[in-house]
Amino acid sequence: MHEIKLRARAKINLTLDVIGKQSNGYHTVCMIMQTLSLYDGIYIKRIDKPVIRIKSNLDWLPTDEKNLAYKGAELLRDTFHIQEGVFIYLDKKIPVAAGLAGGSTDCAAVMVGMNKLFKLGLSKKRLMELSLQLGTDIPYCILQGTALAEGLGEKLTPIANGCPFCYVLLAKPNISISTASVYQALELEKIQKHPNTKEMLFQMQQKDITEMGKLLCNVLETVTIPRHNEIALLKQKMLILGAEGSLMSGSGATVFGLFKEKQKAKEAEYIIKKEFGLRDVFVTEIWNKRKRKHFHK
């Protein structure tokens, strides 16, 4: 095998709670992660030259070691003394720096792809362990599906019969938010509303999207909404337009809404795009590997 194509899927957080802060400054979290259909196309080809070459459809994206896809390839080359190099093409469709784990998922896909391409024989578990040194979201991007993430985000419990199928409207405001600055500004003791993770998992098992919509909760909004009111306005608008619930994903700034009907989601996409003057507004879906065929709409 000389080349491989993969889909690096985006994620959202259905709940995001911050439990505490470690002495090293890292925050411990409890969040329900969910993979979306939306993906970056990843193409990897073996090359004789011992280098990692990256190209992307976004000409401003770093193509050197600052790119997480590069880091994933470098980690596997170094760890397993791979002599050959790789050419990687990233067809970016996931909005960048948007709380959708775009970089982490590209890195995860490159590691999964190189494991196959170079017949490294690594188990999913081993790949996830290795990837952790590059970022706490990456093991989840290898795992995919619905999962509870605890610790620093790396302690993962897959949720059997995960999130029921529904349509997900994404809208990214024209603002860039640094994840580090959000966590730095977070005042844990002032947070009044924490997600009810248990109840969310229960309603998920009931396949009750309406109840799930009411339980969406992200404590990082306490930092981002006072700074960027557009996040609150987008959430409100999605509810008015028929979403079962709406929330900011990760550290933002993308807002998502859960819809039972595709038609309603599409109408909301059209209206929000126009009214807010945003480019990155589109409808995608909840994605789960095994249950996909059995999803009812």
The residues annotated with a catalytic role in the active site are 11, 137
Measured from each CB, the residue nearest to ligand ATP is 103
d(CA 194, CA 67): 33
Grouping H, G, I as helix, E, B as strand and the rest as coil, residue 36 is strand
The count of other CB atoms within 10 Å of the CB of residue 287 is 25
Q: How far is the CB of 256 from ligand ATP (least distance, A)?
A: 12
d(CA 59, CA 294): 40
DSSP secondary structure of 79-124 = HTT--SEEEEEEE--SPTTSSS-HHHHHHHHHHHHHHHHTT----H
Residue 218's region, left for phi above 0, alpha for psi from -120 to 50, else beta, is beta
Q: Is 285 in the site for ligand ATP (CB under 6 A)?
A: no
Q: Is 102 in the site for ligand ATP (CB under 6 A)?
A: yes
Q: Is 113 in the site for ligand ATP (CB under 6 A)?
A: no
The first and second tokens of residue 105, run together, are 């998922």
Q: Is 82 exposed, middle or buried (0-12, 13-18, 19+ CB in 10 A)?
A: middle
Q: Is 67 in the site for ligand ATP (CB under 6 A)?
A: yes
The first and second tokens of residue 47, run together, are 């090359």
How many residues belong to the site for ligand ATP (CB under 6 A)? Answer: 20
User: Which of 14, 101 has the CB closer to ligand ATP?
Assistant: 101
User: Which of 180, 188 has the CB closer to ligand ATP?
Assistant: 180
Q: Is 96 in the site for ligand ATP (CB under 6 A)?
A: yes
For residues 204 to 243, the per-residue mask of contacts with ligand ATP, x marking binding by CB under 6 A and - elsewhere, is ----------------------------------------
Candidates 12, 52, 68, 75; binder of ligand ATP (CB under 6 A) is 68
d(CA 280, CA 270): 11
Candidates 197, 203, 251, 284; binder of ligand ATP (CB under 6 A) is 251
Stretch of residues binding ligand ATP (CB under 6 A), selected from 64-72, 163-171, 188-196, 240-248: 64-72
Residues near ligand ATP, by CB under 6 A? 62, 66-69, 90, 96-104, 106, 137, 179, 250-251
